[in-house]
Amino acid sequence: MAPAWSGSAEVTARIGVLVSGSGSNLQALLDAAADPWFPADIVKVVSNVPGVLALDRAARSGVATEVVDHRGRARAEFEADLLRALGDVDIVCLAGFMRVLTGAFLSAFPGRVLNVHPGLLPLFPGLHAPRQALAAGVTQAGATLHLVDAGVDTGPILAQGTVPVLQGDTEATLAARILTVEHRLYPMALRWIAEGRVVVEGGRATIALKTGESRWIGG
């Protein structure tokens, strides 16, 4: 199990990122972490799918990569292997990682596993959120950055951003518009977690301010 991360603006958190695909969110995190003032370093990228673009992106940034294939094995064994591959990271970012993690994995990083979802949770959880938004006829769609709990897309919300649904949108055009929001939200929320500023009470997250007060995330 990784050591407890209490968070500090002075200490750089070690980040592991789990991916399954193109890794554009990973790229947003790599770009943010390239700033020496960013309070987190991406130290390991683990994919459950071999050969994905996300692995190339990590390698181009000099970050260690590993493939832990989920196919043909028990979930417990897969998750144990993920934990081994992540090593001593402080925080885990799911970035287009297409497997559900159980409490056995999550308990190794309490309050320190983040996920991005291409929908305004709690609406449209699970797969194909932009498709669900189009089918529902909503006029605003968006992305949610949240802490991961044992449910599917149910953990405390850290940040949300909206985009309009435009006339003639397809699932692809809407998903691409939402992705730009994901890329903006992820580094911001990771910074808050890395600095240890997120307080969760009753399933709701607030941000601790330097004054000692805490601020509701919705602004």
Q: Which residues are catalytic?
A: 117
Contacts of 127 (CB under 8 A, 6+ apart): none
Q: Which is nearer to ligand GRF, 7 or 23 (CB)?
A: 23
The CA distance from 108 to 110, in Å, is 6
Q: Which is nearer to ligand GRF, 76 or 98 (CB)?
A: 98
Residue type (1 letter), 101: L
Would you give the binding string for ligand GRF spanning residues 146-185, x where CB under 6 A is met?
A: ---------------------------------x--x---
| H-helix segments, 1-123 | 24-33, 53-60, 75-86, 103-106
DSSP assignments along 131-181, one per residue: HHHHHHT-SEEEEEEEE--SSSS-SPEEEEEEEEPPTT--HHHHHHHHHHH
Shortest distance, position 2 Cβ to ligand GRF, whole Å: 23
Give SS3 for 205.
strand
The CA distance from 69 to 53, in Å, is 16
Contacting ligand GRF (CB under 6 A), which of 7, 39, 96, 142? 96
Residue range at the interface with ligand GRF (CB under 6 A); choices 64-72, 116-124, 133-141, 158-166: 116-124
Shortest distance, position 8 Cβ to ligand GRF, whole Å: 28
Would you give the binding string for ligand GRF spanning residues 20-39, x where CB under 6 A is met?
A: -xxxxx--------------
Binding site for ligand GRF (CB under 6 A): 21-25, 54, 95-96, 116-118, 179, 182
